[in-house]
Amino acid sequence: MEILIISGLSGAGKSKAASFLEDMGFYIVDNMPAAMILKFAEFCAGGSGRYDRVALVYDVRTASSFDELFQVLDKLKAMQGACRMLFLEASPETIIQRYKETRRRHPLADRTDSLEEAVQQERMLMAPVRRRADLILDTTRTSTAQLRTLLLHHFSSESLQGSMAVSVLSFGFKYGLPLDADLVFDVRFMPNPFYMEELRNHTGLDEPVARYVMSFRETTEYLRRLEELLAFSLPLYAEEGKTGLVIAVGCTGGHHRSVAVCHALAEFIRGKGYQVTESHRDIDRS
């Protein structure tokens, strides 16, 4: 069992971090008092595997006694399994700006005379928790996508490639562009099997059509350059934090050329370690 305590300063990104960790397979519990953490961990340990990865959000709202939290941490670390604490922070100026943009109240607003004072007081209050953290992330200059990438690096069993699902689909331009496409490639310049009577009623998934499409120099050269482009750009999309990418390949009717190229691209991308789905939107249209 893996237990992660998410703590840190208000406005530093704990909620976003919890959402990303939930996408990575963690069971999230927000605002849990320290007194309940140990019992909850014991409950999870006796489960059927549903709670193998748990992330508990602990912040100044639940901080009645840090000594109690530290005792719980020591006991959790002694239990079988992994227990770590993640602490998120940001500069006071950044946190103040984020609160002004969201117009939310700071948890210590009722105890202080200004937002600046509340931010400074929380920083001092949470200092002992920060010292006990296994990992500290400063989100002052970190975008949402960059935060996700950092969390994937530290807490995901998947590679960056495995964290981004790639959908490759073929389509026919005469039926319109796919609305959800991120990248669109037009292969209508390739020789068209439609004009070969023996190939017309087949599709790009059939070996004779695929062999015909791939027999031309312009096809193999285009595919080589396209693979080079994707080999370069896909890791950049994954690092940026994109969870899904839709690549659309179009020809006139969506039966022959786009299908063959789409299939070849899907095999190439799958070989690079990405989760790939292949679909052919217009393959059955007359």
Q: What is the pLDDT of residue 64?
A: 60
Tell whether 153 and 166 lie within a shared domain: no
Domain-located, residue 286:
no
Tell whether 96 and 60 lie within a shared domain: yes
pLDDT(226) > 70: yes
pLDDT(48) > 70: no
Tell whether 168 and 260 lie within a shared domain: yes
pLDDT(80) > 70: no
Cβ-contact 275, 166 below 8 angstroms: yes
**39 falls in which pLDDT band (50, 70, 90)?**
confident
Q: What does the DSSP assignment read for 159-206? A: -HHHHSEEEEEEEEGGG---TT-SEEEE-TTSPPGGGSTTTTTS-TTS
pLDDT(104) > 70: yes
Of all residues in the chain, the percent with pLDDT exceeding 90 is 61
Tell whether 78 and 22 lie within a shared domain: yes
Segment 263-271 mean pLDDT: 96
Segment 237-254 mean pLDDT: 90
Cβ-contact 80, 1 below 8 angstroms: yes
Tell whether 69 and 135 lie within a shared domain: yes
Cβ-contact 232, 154 below 8 angstroms: no
Structural domain harbouring 219:
162-280
Residue 154: alpha-carbon gap to chain centroid:
13
Compute the distance between CA of residue 98 and CA of residue 140 in angstroms, rounded to an integer.
10
Domain boundary among 119, 137, 157: 157
The most confident of 59-68, 76-85, 162-171, 271-280, by mean pLDDT: 271-280
pLDDT(266) > 90: yes
**227 falls in which pLDDT band (50, 70, 90)?**
very high
Number of domains in the chain: 2
Work out the mean pLDDT of the chain and round it to a whole number.
89
Domain-located, residue 108:
yes
**23 falls in which pLDDT band (50, 70, 90)?**
confident
Q: Tell me the pLDDT tens digit for each residue of 121-179.
A: 999 999 999 999 999 999 999 988 888 888 888 887 665 666 688 999 999 999 999 99
Tell whether 153 and 24 lie within a shared domain: yes
